[in-house]
Amino acid sequence: MKKAGVMGWPIGHSKSPALHGFWLREHGVDGSYIALAVQPENLRAELHALPERGFSGVNLTVPHKEAALAMVDSVDDVARRIGATNCVLVNDGKLAATNTDAYGFITNLTTGAPNYRASKGPAVVLGAGGASRAVCVALMDAGCPEIRLTNRNRARADALAAALGKSVHVVAWDDRNDILAEAALLVNTTSLGMQGQPPLQIDLAQLPAHAVVNDIVYAPLETALLQAAKLRGNAVVDGLGMLLYQAQPAFAAFFGKTPEVTPALRAHVMAQS
């Protein structure tokens, strides 16, 4: 039986067991995917115990994604550039870290907005946390010519831009409305607009009609940002798909079958509290 799971602290909120469990049943795979509550001080030992416990690998979530990079045997290029790993695989008894969040983001975006081309123009990215790093790397790899990055804490955006290169331009958070002019994409990677969080305040007046708007917040599924964008005729993509698509290559690596993201999967994951 193939084994995988997700390590986090706390871990109760994770939708990954429901997501992978759905695919395990759908594909009739002889395998299991479990939630593993791992405190930060135990992460190294828990990761290194995976080979002897017969695990194919694990996903990592808050607060382990950055720390794990220093605890594994190898780190691939995308994880190194993002500065985080959400997926550690056991290969011949060794731990190999990768990151499937950038894949999840870009696949969700291009599936949800098939006419979007990153090369078409600048992208405005709100937020400079962990999710933003994966979004920026994905956009750069897809050929986006310019990323306009804005964050409440400017120093965090400056650090991200310095790590990623010249195509990332930092703009003051207070100027976020004005950088929407000529943008081909607007992405919210902050927690603003999420259930229980403050609203995202932004005026879309200058955003071109052809621009795509993506919110990585998926609770609620249709955020106020997406509602406002839809009302003025912009194509919108919700955030649930990023979660679903990041799991796709992880499942394939853990269990040897490439699963599909379907409406039934979306409904199943949304039904989890």
Binding status of residue 192 toward ligand ATR by CB under 6 A: yes
Segment holding 213, helix H or strand E: strand 212-215
* DSSP conformation letters of 225-236: HHHHHHHTT-EE
Residues 61-100 that bind ligand ATR (CB under 6 A): none
Of the candidates 173, 184, 174, the one whose C-alpha atom is nearest the C-alpha of residue 150 is 173
Binding status of residue 190 toward ligand ATR by CB under 6 A: yes
Segment holding 17, helix H or strand E: helix 16-27
Q: Which stretch binds ligand ATR (CB under 6 A): 23-31, 42-50, 125-133, 238-246?
A: 125-133
Q: How far is the CB of 192 from ligand ATR (least distance, A)?
A: 5
- Residue among 95 and 128 whose Cβ is closer to ligand ATR: 128
* DSSP conformation letters of 46-104: HHHTTTTTTEEEEEE-TTSTTGGGGGSSEE-HHHHHHT--SEEEEETTEEEEE--HHHH
φ and ψ at residue 167, rounded to 5 degrees? -80, -5
Catalytic site residue from 3, 15, 65, 94:
65
CA 116 – CA 104 distance, rounded (Å): 16
Q: How far is the CB of 159 from ligand ATR (least distance, A)?
A: 10
Q: Is 2 a catalytic residue?
A: no
Q: How far is the CB of 243 from ligand ATR (least distance, A)?
A: 12
Q: Which stretch binds ligand ATR (CB under 6 A): 53-61, 102-110, 161-169, 186-194?
A: 186-194
- Residue among 152 and 210 whose Cβ is closer to ligand ATR: 152
Long-range contacts of 219-226 (CB under 8 A, 24+ apart): 219/194, 219/195, 220/195, 221/270, 223/188, 223/193, 223/194, 224/193, 224/199, 224/200, 225/188, 225/193, 225/200
- Residue among 177 and 191 whose Cβ is closer to ligand ATR: 191
Q: How far is the CB of 252 from ligand ATR (least distance, A)?
A: 24
Per-residue contact track with ligand ATR, 129 to 168, x per CB under 6 A? xxxx------------------xxx--x------------
Binding status of residue 266 toward ligand ATR by CB under 6 A: no
- Residue among 24 and 269 whose Cβ is closer to ligand ATR: 269
Residues 239-258 that bind ligand ATR (CB under 6 A): none
Of the candidates 246, 250, 267, the one whose C-alpha atom is nearest the C-alpha of residue 130 is 246
The tokens describing 250, both together, are 């992880």
Report the catalytic residues: 65
Q: Which residues bind ligand ATR (CB under 6 A)?
A: 127-132, 151-153, 156, 189-192, 198
